[in-house]
Amino acid sequence: MVADYIIVGQGLCGTFLSWNLIQQGCTVLVIDEPQTSSSSKVASGVINPITGRRMVKTWMIDELLPFAWAQYQQLGNELGVSLVKKCSVVQFHTTPQMRDAFTERLAEDETYLQVEDNSTWEPYFRFNYGAAAITPCLHIEVNAMLSAWRNVLKSKGALLEEHFDLDQLLYNETGVQYKNISASKIIFCNGTDAYDMPFFNKLPFARNKGEALIVDIPGLPATDIYKHGFTIVPWSDGLFWVGSTYEWDFTSLEPTPLFRKKVEEHLGYWLKLPFSVVAHLSAERPATLERRPFVGIHPLHPAIGILNGTGTKGCSLAPYFAQEFSRFLVDGQPITPQADVARFQKVLSR
């Protein structure tokens, strides 16, 4: 079998890269081992333009948000599935200081911010210091997208559902061979698996674990996202995703009883509605020390590339940088320097 590109991984990165390359007339073969707890499958699917205590705009968001909106709509139309909705993150201030910081921030720049009417939310939540909204945010149906695109790849004979075995890879300057498949390049979109693999394991990845509960909360409107320490996000089947943690130091990737207890206690105080826990998820995010993705070709191996390191922001970074990378591969267009792995040329050449 011959393909233009072999792509390892079909999370957010592999999905958008394969979709873009096919749109540009290329052939792809995606190798993905089915896993229930990959980062993309556990993600809540939120694109939030303002984050942190200081409520700052996230990197490149004025460009990334409208771009993501258009891309998810286009892919959703092709797949016949609704993938993206505009919504607000309703943020309940947890302290008077937080409320004051919001008021100051609003006076400086109103973009993406508005004050909420407390009475809208009083039937559902207990809160003492008022509420604000970050709007518009996007909410992505990540799992629906992954499975619908997987079906398209299957129907094209472009998916190999197996563990990628590095020992079977042969490569030189002009191409690669994996088992009986020849391609001009192989692109690794294998998320946290890249940490332990040659080629890109010298990149400054940062291990970061996140957990979430899937919770039934009858009566809570599934129109928006709610934040008060933890975040509640609409999930599939009328359920809600509640999370998350950002753990930099951990010994196991398994869900922990401590997280479940903390979230249950928190919801018990915050929600005025009854709730029940249906599932407990955890996964490792492919995060990076400098919080910028890794996109491009290995400086020593022209047939080997990477799209990875999207950290906490795969929903916005993957569509944008997959398109940039595919245009680089097909037409030689440039990659944003802060994302291009060429910035690690020295490290990768050792």
Give the interface with ligand FAD as residue ranges (CB under 6 A): 8-14, 31-33, 35, 38-40, 42-47, 163-164, 189-193, 210, 212, 243-244, 283, 285-286, 308, 310-316
Residue placing its CB nearer to ligand FAD in the complex, 35 or 74 = 35
When the beta carbons of 298 and 313 are compared against ligand FAD, the nearer one is 313
Q: What Cα–Cα distance (Å) separates residue 159 from each residue in 115, 164, 182, 189, 259? A: 47, 12, 14, 14, 36
Residue with smaller CB distance to ligand FAD, 130 or 315: 315
Distance in Å, CB of 230 to ligand FAD, minimum: 12
- Closest approach of Cβ 69 to ligand FAD, in Å? 14
- Least separation in angstroms between residue 261's CB and ligand FAD is 18
The H or E element that residue 243 is part of is strand 240-243
Measured N-to-C along each axis, helices 61-79 and 142-155 cross at an angle, to the nearest 10 degrees, of 50
Cβ atoms of 188 and 194 closer than 8 Å: yes
Nearer to ligand FAD, 84 or 130 (CB): 84
Q: How many CA atoms lie within 13 A of 303 on its CB side?
A: 17
Instruction: Using alpha carbons, select from 190, 216, 240, 238 the residue that is nearest to residue 44.
Output: 240
* Least CB distance to ligand FAD at residue 33 (A): 4
CB of 292 to ligand FAD, least distance (A): 12
- Closest residue to ligand FAD, based on beta-carbon distance: 11
Q: Which is nearer to ligand FAD, 83 or 283 (CB)?
A: 283
Collapsing DSSP states into helix, strand and coil, what is residue 280?
strand
- Name residue 267's beta-bridge partners: none
Residue 126 tokens, joined: 């207990």
* Cα–Cα nearest to 188, from 72, 348, 61: 348
Q: Which is nearer to ligand FAD, 190 or 323 (CB)?
A: 190
Q: Please, what is the minimum distance in Å from the beta carbon of residue 44 to ligand FAD?
A: 4
Closer to ligand FAD at the Cβ: 130 or 306?
306
CB of 138 to ligand FAD, least distance (A): 9
DSSP string of 100-161, one letter each residue: HHHHHHHHH--TTEEE--HHHHTTTB--SS-EEEEEEEEEE-HHHHHHHHHHHHHHTT-EE-
